[in-house]
Amino acid sequence: MTQQQNQARQLIGESWIRKVLMVNGVSSGGTALLLLLFPGFVGKLTGLDNQAALMGAGAYLLLVVAFTFIIASRKTVSPKAVLTLSVIDFLWLFKSIILLGLSSSFLTAIGTAAVIFVALVVGVFAVFEAVYYNHNRSYDNAR
């Protein structure tokens, strides 16, 4: 194996992204449980009164959390899998922006703040994940 091939197999920031994914998974899991277990409370607090939609978002988040923990627990953190999470997180960010635009008339102040806060946090995760992929995009092809 040449030195160039060996360098292509070394991942940059793997332990760092593993920590980012764990924080992402824990925070998303907490949000999922809040939405699933207390949709009425969340609805009254935020102004989003469709409990079925809140529970659906919670169920969706549990799937994302499972995927996140699977990726983080692998021996090697796959850049392509992290890219998938980055896309999921960027989509959440864009959907949050749409929600703010469409729901601003009935969102409470707490609801607006919560959507903005969660969108910002998820956006930060998405950027970290995209950076990890960018630094390691040749890894999956080199294997």
pLDDT tens-digit readout, 20-43: 999 999 999 999 999 999 999 999
Give me Rg for the CA atoms of the chain.
18
Per-residue pLDDT at 2: 52
Mean pLDDT of 10-25: 94
- The mean pLDDT of the chain is 92
Two tokens, residue 131:
């950076």
Per-residue pLDDT at 103: 86
Whether 82 has a pLDDT exceeding 80, the answer reads yes
Per-residue pLDDT at 105: 87
Mean pLDDT of 94-109: 92
